[in-house]
């Protein structure tokens, strides 16, 4: 009777004392290797992700999508009640202010340089200054800047001056020495004498007659093919193997041909799905250059919303066909004779949603998917196609009717905030497991999937809550969100047989793991586990027994089988002690440890400031004693295996 009581008490203590946890890691029981594509990213033409994020352009509305008016009121406010976002500003009218009397600026709609209209500056001819100006340009002392302006007009309008007026009254000027009735470009260059976040750029004249402004551009001189150097550096450190682009909801109203050809003459459009303007400065060529800079693979989403089968087929031909094809010839004329060879293609985005442009009933969409997919494979049968999925009737029907016309199927998850920190951190993992379980059931029940291995591409996943502090959808992330991303990665690892790809949304500013100001950039807390796991975690998951619901543990062997990695997430407010039992496996006592820790789960990082949350690396000696896992921490260990 005494031994029974002891056994019961021992069981009770193990079950209830969450401060001491023992787990067994059996290196002989492995799972399918983790796909590198789990560490993918997603960028969309939305908010400050591309423009005012990764792209280096400093001028707002440089092609004058909005008419320049005497009534200057460029910014509007909106909120997002569904995602519980507070009010945020977005550009709703021209950011250009008229210098001069009313009527000085007239928009020419008959012969515009680009888009629907071009500003014409009418000079009074009495020696007073007239033109346009834009505020809030940010410059950094000692940095060089370069740009261009395309002008046309009367010789009597000379000299046309482009100048930067700083808050302290200093002025940097460029004098345009020649002008003709035909448009021509003039280069702009300067070095910032001081740091100023509210510089005004002016385009003015005291002459007679009129002059026209086709476009103006200004970038830091250290831009890399038009991309911000400091943001590219962070993206390289993120080291994502693949980037999904250009959307998202955006793609269902996007005409890819708007983004090719002479950048200055690509038409600006209203963003079809979101606020603001799509400048079309970034298109296929710029995106492919970014992928080359980052060493990442492209993953192009095509328009199955308002787009047609022929338009999508032409896009594949433009990217992947030789220069002797019609679209290949056009690509060569635009500066890239060799095919890009894009392998990954998303056939549409969230077409199950009523919010999606071109949304249609499921029974109609499956027909469109099959038509589009066949047309794409007819152009290039080697490409991989990802169909639109959403667990439930939509995914089931897509897999039943379209399984012959897809390589992978997408799913998306977004989670909002929970008050309980531990519960908040587990949301992503729960959804990842839920979708994996659903797709395993589909494999068992859907006859059309027999003999096929259509895995999931979770090509959008993240937390989404809070105020839009970094432009539209530009939420702030906290340490607790980084903990949740780490636990989410663990769930991908546990389901490595069903998940082939995941694309964290949306890299920069827009629910992204990199945040920027006009001059600075830095990692949000959610970037840290993505960097840590991709760089140091193993690739062959190992079975763990004795797992606790109180913490989350994942283990994996390195690809060469010479080292073991163990990652532990403690989302609780108190320390946990974890004992690791490796069974017959012998590990070297000397190892490495990485930790992401902060005592406050609400801690966050800001661009341009010393980060509050960071990755700290140290060497350790493992003697078989229990490991102390600090509150609110992600800890990763690496042990070399003894032969």
Q: What positions carry a catalytic annotation?
A: 350, 460
- Rounded to whole angstroms, the Cα distance separating 65 from 251 reads 20
Those residues whose C-beta lies under 8 Å from the C-beta of residue 179, and which sit 6 or more positions away, are 151, 152, 153, 154, 155, 157, 158, 160, 211
Residue 591 bridge partners (DSSP): 620, 639
Cross-sheet strand order for the sheet of 105-108: 105-108, 118-124, 208-220, 144-153, 184-191
Residue 466 token pair: 């809070």
What single DSSP character describes residue 18?
Answer: T
- Rounded to whole angstroms, the Cα distance separating 488 from 541 reads 15
Neighbours of 178 (CB within 10 A): 11
What single DSSP character describes residue 233?
Answer: H
228 preceded by a cis bond (ω within 30 of 0): no
Residue 210 bridge partners (DSSP): 122
- DSSP assignments along 89-126, one per residue: EEE-S--PEEESSTTSEEEE-SS-SSTT-EEEEEEESS
Residue 271 token pair: 């963003």
For residues 456-487, one letter each, b for 16 or more C-beta atoms within 10 angstroms of the residue's C-beta and e for the rest, the string is bbbbbbbbbbbebebbbbbbbbbbbbbbbbbb
Angle at 450 between CA 444 and CA 452, to 5 degrees: 110
| Cα dihedral across residues 427, 429, 430, 432: positive or negative | positive
Residue 345 token pair: 């293609």
């Amino acid at each position: 009777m005494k031994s029974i009581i002891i056994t019961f008490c021992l069981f009770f203590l193990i079950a209830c004392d969450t401060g001491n946890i023992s787990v067994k890691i059996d290196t002989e029981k492995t799972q399918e290797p983790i796909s590198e594509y789990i560490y993918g990213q997603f960028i969309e033409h939305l908010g400050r992700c591309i423009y005012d994020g990764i792209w280096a352009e400093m001028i707002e509305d440089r092609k004058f999508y909005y008419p320049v008016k005497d009534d200057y009121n460029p910014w509007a406010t909106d909120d997002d009640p569904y995602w519980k976002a507070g009010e945020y500003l977005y550009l709703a009218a021209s950011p250009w202010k008229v210098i001069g009397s009313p009527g000085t600026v007239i928009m020419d709609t008959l012969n515009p340089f680009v888009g629907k209209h071009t500003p014409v500056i009418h000079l009074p001819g009495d020696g007073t200054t007239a033109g346009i100006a834009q505020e809030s340009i940010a410059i950094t002392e000692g940095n060089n800047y370069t740009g261009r302006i395309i002008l046309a007009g009367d010789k009597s309008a000379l000299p046309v001056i482009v100048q930067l007026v700083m808050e302290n009254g200093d002025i940097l000027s460029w004098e345009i020495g020649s002008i003709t009735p035909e448009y021509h470009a003039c280069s702009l260059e300067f070095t910032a004498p001081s740091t100023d976040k509210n510089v005004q750029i002016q385009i003015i004249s005291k002459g007679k007659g009129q002059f026209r402004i086709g476009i103006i551009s200004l970038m830091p001189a250290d831009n890399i093919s038009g991309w911000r150097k400091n943001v590219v550096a962070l993206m390289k450190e993120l080291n994502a193997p693949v980037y999904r682009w250009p959307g998202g909801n955006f793609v269902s109203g996007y005409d890819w041909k708007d983004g090719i050809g002479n950048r200055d003459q690509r038409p600006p459009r209203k963003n079809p799905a979101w606020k603001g303007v799509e400048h079309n400065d970034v298109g296929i060529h710029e995106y492919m250059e970014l992928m080359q800079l980052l060493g990442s693979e492209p993953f192009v989403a095509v328009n199955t919303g308002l787009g047609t089968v022929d338009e999508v087929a032409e896009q594949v031909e433009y990217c992947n066909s030789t220069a002797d094809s019609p679209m290949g010839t056009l690509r060569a004329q635009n500066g890239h004779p060799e095919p890009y060879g894009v392998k990954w293609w998303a056939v549409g985005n969230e077409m199950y949603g009523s919010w999606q442009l071109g949304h249609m009933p499921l029974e109609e969409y499956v027909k469109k998917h099959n038509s589009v997919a066949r047309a794409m494979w007819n152009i290039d049968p080697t490409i991989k196609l990802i169909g639109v999925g959403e667990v439930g009737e939509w995914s089931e029907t897509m897999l039943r009717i379209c399984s012959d016309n897809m390589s992978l199927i997408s799913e998306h998850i977004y989670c909002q905030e929970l008050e309980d920190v531990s519960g908040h951190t587990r949301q992503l993992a729960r959804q990842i497991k839920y979708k994996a379980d659903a797709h395993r059931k589909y494999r068992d029940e859907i006859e059309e999937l027999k003999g096929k291995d259509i895995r999931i591409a979770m090509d959008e996943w993240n937390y989404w809550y809070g105020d839009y502090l970094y432009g539209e959808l530009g939420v702030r992330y906290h340490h607790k969100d980084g903990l949740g991303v780490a636990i989410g990665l663990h769930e991908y690892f546990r389901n490595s047989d069903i998940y082939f790809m995941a694309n964290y949304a949306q890299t920069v500013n827009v629910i992204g793991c990199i945040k920027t100001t006009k001059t600075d950039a830095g990692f949000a807390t959610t970037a840290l586990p993505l960097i840590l796991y991709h760089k140091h975690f193993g690739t062959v998951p190992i079975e763990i027994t004795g797992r606790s619901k109180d913490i989350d543990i994942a283990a994996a062997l390195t690809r060469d089988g010479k080292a073991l990695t163990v990652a532990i997430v403690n989302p609780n407010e108190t320390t946990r002690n974890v004992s690791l039992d490796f069974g017959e496996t012998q590990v070297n006592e000397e190892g490495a440890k990485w930790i992401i820790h902060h005592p406050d789960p609400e801690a966050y990082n800001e661009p341009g400031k010393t980060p509050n949350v960071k990755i700290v690396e140290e060497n350790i000696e493992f003697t078989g004693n229990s490991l102390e896992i600090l509150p609110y921490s992600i800890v990763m260990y690496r042990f070399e295996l003894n032969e």
